[in-house]
Amino acid sequence: MGEYELQVPFREGEIRRLKIKDAVYVTGEVLTIRDMAYERILSALDSNEPLPFNLQGKVIWHAGPITKQEGGKWKPVSVGSTTSSRFTAPASRLIEKMGVKMVIGKGFMGPEALRALEEYGAVYAHTTGGTAAYYANQIPEIQGVHWLDLGMPAAVWILKVHRLGPLIIAMDSYGKNLFDELQSKVDASLQQILKDLKIDPHHKYLWWP
């Protein structure tokens, strides 16, 4: 379990050095991307249209912030992660096609994302969910916003972060997923709980066939 200070853009080999359970602090540019922005990025990708921002070597954050305008400038209010598992497919494409090097979110992503991280040398970092007042303190500046027509939570916010973290590396570029380990432990506990309570582990309570 190492601890690393990372600066965006990353240096060569810096991401490959990271392993699951490492704690990292990120400084530099981070872009927020969530459901509707993914939809728009992928449709631009499919039709070969240019994007108003570049994702090569960048960090994306599954977050839908609360922001406010003060004296003509956007300020962060509360900024935290949204559930990442629903972005497994689109995040994998951004890693593959657009060169994203780090994805920040909460929870985990599926096997497709793990393969993309391994092949293209990127990582997935877990944040504590809901702690948006804490992370907002680590964002000194909002550099810009794209696609505000999608609404505040869905727009792409270009954040300048200072020591964002600690972020826990949950999926590394060696095909390791922290949650595989955690899930097998939980499954073993569940077996014991059900046995103690004399509950059939295969019984599902769905009414329809």
Q: Under the rule (CB under 8 A), what is the footprint of other proteins?
A: 1, 21, 36, 63-66, 68, 77-80, 82-83, 85, 106-108, 126, 128-134, 136-137, 150-154, 166, 168, 179, 182-183, 185-187, 189-190, 192-194, 197-200, 203-207
Closest to 80 in 3D by CA, of 137, 36, 160, 124: 137
CB of 138 to other proteins, least distance (A): 11
User: Closest approach of Cβ 65 to other proteins, in Å?
Assistant: 6
Smallest distance, Å, CB 93 to other proteins?
A: 21
Distance between CA atoms of residues 55 and 76, nearest Å = 22
Q: With respect to other proteins, which residue has the nearer C-beta, 44 or 199?
A: 199
Q: Measure the CA–CA gap between 69 and 75, rounded to whole angstroms.
A: 6
Return the C-alpha torsion angle 48, 124, 62, 55, nearest 10.
Answer: -30
* Residue number, 55 or 132, with CB nearest to other proteins: 132
* Angle subtended at Cα 85 by Cα 48 and Cα 2, rounded to the nearest 5 degrees: 100
Distances (CA, A) of 102 to 6, 35, 43, 89, 184: 11, 18, 22, 15, 26
- Beta carbon nearer to other proteins, 57 or 107: 107
How far apart CA 64 and CA 80 sit, in angstroms, is 7
Cβ closest to other proteins, residue 13 vs residue 209: 209
Kindly state the smallest distance separating residue 109's Cβ from other proteins, in Å.
11
- Terminal alpha carbon distance of the chain: 46
Residue nearer to other proteins on the CB measure, 12 or 196: 196
The nearest distance, CB 25 to other proteins, in angstroms, is: 13
